[in-house]
Amino acid sequence: MVSIRPATLGDADAIARLTACIQQLHFEALPKLFRPPNEGLFPAKKLSALLKDSNSIVAVAEVDNRIVGHIYAEHVQRAENAFRLSESTIYINQIGVREEARGQGIGTALIAFIEERAAALGVHAIGLDYWAFNTPARGFFEARGFKPLQVKMQKKLKGT
């Protein structure tokens, strides 16, 4: 059975390994954009800073006392401007589940953890993004009620 809990500094190595797996996926798909994974992607120093930041949410998923997933999100508050109303959202920066643990409800439990935190903060929307090549992520997020809000496009110029 999966349990979700707030991350601690002692989880840094496990989160770093999960982050490296996510980075490998991105590097393989877009090697001209992403660097290969390395040890410094999610160092303990970064986790320590996030754990001290009241706007950050970092949690891990455990099965049999083994970390098999993590999520990192932040509470974002944007002031009103001439074009948009103010908004308060939770933005998911990163979510990852070990490949062998996928399909067991772990990602869903991590999203539910963030939804509970959002409700406690009085936030009514959760945002995230994913890379277009990552169709499994798209399916996962859509199955959990996420809908496209903004589409970002790019055109490569000749000679690049």
Q: 56-76 pLDDT, tens per residue? A: 999 999 999 999 999 999 999
How many whole angstroms separate alpha carbon 138 and alpha carbon 133?
Answer: 9
Q: Which fold has domain 2-143?
A: Aminopeptidase (3.40.630)
Contact 57, 102 (CB under 8 A): no
Phi-psi group of 64: left, alpha or beta (phi > 0 → left; psi -120 to 50 → alpha; rest → beta): left
> Sorting pLDDT into bands at 50, 70 and 90, what band is 9?
very high
Placement of tokens 């992403």 in the chain: 34
Contact 68, 17 (CB under 8 A): no
